[in-house]
Amino acid sequence: MSTVGRDQSETADHRWDGLDPSRARKLVDARLQFHHAAQLATAAGISFLAAEADDSHTNLEWLAQRRALASHVIPAPIPFRIAVRPADLTLLALDAGDRCIDEIALDGRTLVEAAEWVRVRVVRFGANGARYTLRRHYVIPGHPVISGKPFDASAQEDLAALADWFNDADLVLRALASQTVDAGPVRCWPHHFDIATLITLAPISGELSRTIGAGLEPGDEDYAQPYFYVNLHPTPNTSVLPDLGGGGVWHTEGWMGAVLPATALTADGTQQLAQVDEFLTTATSACRLLLA
């Protein structure tokens, strides 16, 4: 059964953007710059929220109306969020209603300069700007911006394409989560930089919990392109894997899960939502069978 329909998933603020599979392998630098820029938003959670065991205080939400990744709302005399818009690498200071209070282009600016800009805005919201820090307890892929090189937003088509991937993933994953029992919220995790929902299944005979993760990874060491995935825990011992729909394939090296690489998508933007829907639906069902 399909999990996503245009009447269920598309709204005036959130519609499927046609994706260009032919550009998918050209997005590496845009993705790395956005990954580092997004840490400016994650830093708000690290700096001002109580640490959670699952690191959920660090994760980010895609705001379709802003086309940006945003931190959790930070409690302050004036509650606020910090967000980053990938299409033009812009840093945003939002209020609790997601209204933009101020913004600054990251193009030509360093991480240090951007962090200082945030500190000034944090003070204006009534919080302690000195608490805002870019220190974090995990490592992300390297890029020259970490050594002081300014951000470069000149590859505008790549950045805009990357924004489309995040927007579409959020759209289809929210629809999946809304129709799936025990699916968690759709969030972007700043370590691996995937945007995903986690489905928690009931344990069998007192065993550890079983989970299925469904999401989009914008690219990593396994695939130098965006890819949708559905993975599962614990990893089953099996030599026979169920068939997948939508052009999906099984990934079994290093980790096990179903993947739909960007280059496997149809070039017809009007058919892509149905294809991704078919992949997520069949892959989620297959993982349920494997965990049964």
Tens digit of each residue's pLDDT (9 = 90 or more) over 75-96: 999 999 999 999 999 999 999 9
pLDDT tens column, 25-72: 999 999 999 999 999 999 999 999 999 999 999 999 999 999 999 999
pLDDT at residue 10 in the model: 65
pLDDT at residue 6 in the model: 42
DSSP secondary structure letter of residue 238: -
Least Cα distance to 123 among 164, 156, 163, 80 occurs for: 80
Say how far apart CA 212 and CA 285 lie, in whole Å. Answer: 10
The beta-strand segments (E) located in the chain are: 61-63, 68-70, 80-85, 90-95, 100-105, 187-188, 195-201, 210-217, 227-233, 249-251, 257-261
Least Cα distance to 140 among 42, 8, 7 occurs for: 42
- Asked whether 100 and 66 are in contact (CB, 8 A), the reply is yes
pLDDT at residue 9 in the model: 53
Residue 120 to residues 65, 86, 125: CA-CA distances in angstroms?
Answer: 25, 22, 9
Q: Is 52 exposed, middle or buried (0-12, 13-18, 19+ CB in 10 A)?
A: exposed
Look at the pTM and tell me if it is higher than 0.75.
yes
Angle formed at CA 15 by CA 13 and CA 20, multiple of 5 degrees: 135
Say how far apart CA 69 and CA 45 lie, in whole Å. Answer: 13
| Mean pLDDT value of segment 233-245 | 91
